Amino acid sequence: MTDGLVFSESPRALYVHIPFCSSKCFYCDFNSYVTTEAVRKAYVESLLNELTMVHNEYFGVGARPQLQTIFFGGGTPTLLTIDEFERIAKRLGELFVQTTETEWTIEANPASMSLKKAQALLHMGVNRISFGAQTFNETLLQVIGRLHDAADVEESVRIAHDVGFHRVNLDLMLGLPGQTLDDVDESVTRALQLGISHLSAYGLKVEENTPFAKWQKEGFLHLPKEELEVAMYEFVQTRLRASGFEQYEISNFALPGEEARHNLHYWKNKPYLAVGAGAHGYVHGLRYENERSLVKYEERIAQKVRPIAEAHVVSAEEAMEDTMMLGLRLQSGVSREEFRQLHGKELDDVFGPLIKSLCERGWLLQDHQRVWIPAQYNEVANEIFALFVGYL
């Protein structure tokens, strides 16, 4: 055990997984299913029950703790009907206190957001929308199996702004098959023209058991060379900085004050609740993963037991390594004070020799307050993280 807060702090962030999509994108290995309305309805019932179970287990019946952030991810959460959203929002309101300060994000696919739905979400308290745009190039959208086109992205963001959402994120992907620097330029330009407050730029990873993995094995998937993908990433960094965005994490850029606070919980190694099929949570030193299969998930809930498929008790050493691995993703790095609060130890007493050797190599910088990766070494961040894993 540690004297810090890492295992005792109560979670103030909630992730809700909605595992439904209109079709599967060719690169996607997220836990999501193309299914019927009846299946979706049954899932929402189970989700409501799981919310109550999780709440009662960690806070006790009748308690109404305050949430700082809520994140509905998927899948495509906006495939839920307004009625289904309202039922979930009502249950959340019964179990937790949400204030005007609570950040409530919903992931949305551009083709799945109507004016009516956007209005209803805002009314329920959702105050941030994250659209999976991926690219504005029509051919590339088809190549990766997206159902929407670039005009859908523009229309969805316009709707979100018109109904009163001030915080809008777009996800873009880099390193897509056949993608060029000009494509990235066009996508970033069109994204910025929409007046968004946040942009995430992720490199494509070919995941097992996806059509992309199959096509790669068969030799049909032609991805840009590594140097080109690096050039795309650097282009995004430069363009966004020039437009007033700050890069605050390896893949994330925000206007000042518009960082995704929910994700900051993850990167600062803070606890978070998670509900839904395949959702991952971290509470009181236990990392858990729910059943991915909808059938198993619903069976467990019907038996009135938490639908946890796997759980792992995090040791004090592992928690400190996690704090480094996650925190170094942030451009601000790991705060010495926050490390002390979380783990009850001085950062240098735990990782001093490793930090010193990485600073000598130029891969890390440090001052009295924090330790961070200089922006030019973001591309070797995974190598740096690997040095912290298993160090203790």
Q: Which stretch binds ligand SF4 (CB under 6 A): 18-26, 44-52, 58-66, 81-89?
A: 18-26
Nearer to ligand SF4, 275 or 373 (CB): 275
CA-based torsion, 227, 232, 237, 241: positive or negative: positive
Residue 275 DSSP SS3: strand
CB of 322 to ligand SF4, least distance (A): 25
Site string for ligand SF4, 131-150 (x = CB under 6 A): -x------------------
Q: Which residues are registered as beta bridge partners of 313?
A: 286
Q: Which of residues 49-78 bind ligand SF4 (CB under 6 A)?
A: 74-76
Sequence-distant (≥ 6) Cβ neighbours of residue 131 within 8 angstroms: 107, 108, 109, 110, 113, 153, 156, 157, 160, 168, 169, 170, 171
CB of 336 to ligand SF4, least distance (A): 38
Q: Which stretch binds ligand SF4 (CB under 6 A): 23-31, 55-63, 214-222, 287-295?
A: 23-31
Asked whether position 28 contacts ligand SF4 by CB under 6 A, the answer is yes
Nearer to ligand SF4, 5 or 28 (CB): 28
Asked whether position 224 contacts ligand SF4 by CB under 6 A, the answer is no
To 5 degrees, how large is the angle CA 346–CA 352–CA 357? 155
Site string for ligand SF4, 81-120 (x = CB under 6 A): ----------------------------x-----------
| 270 contacts 13 by C-beta, under 8 angstroms | yes
CB atoms within 10 A of CB 313: 10
Q: Which of 13, 14, 16, 21 binds ligand SF4 (CB under 6 A)?
A: 21
Nearer to ligand SF4, 26 or 85 (CB): 26
DSSP symbol at 224: P
Asked whether position 25 contacts ligand SF4 by CB under 6 A, the answer is yes
The C-alpha torsion from 165 through 98 and 114 to 20, rounded to 10°, is 130
| 269 contacts 343 by C-beta, under 8 angstroms | no
Applying CB under 6 A, the residues found at the interface with ligand SF4 are 21, 24-25, 28, 30, 32, 74-76, 109, 132
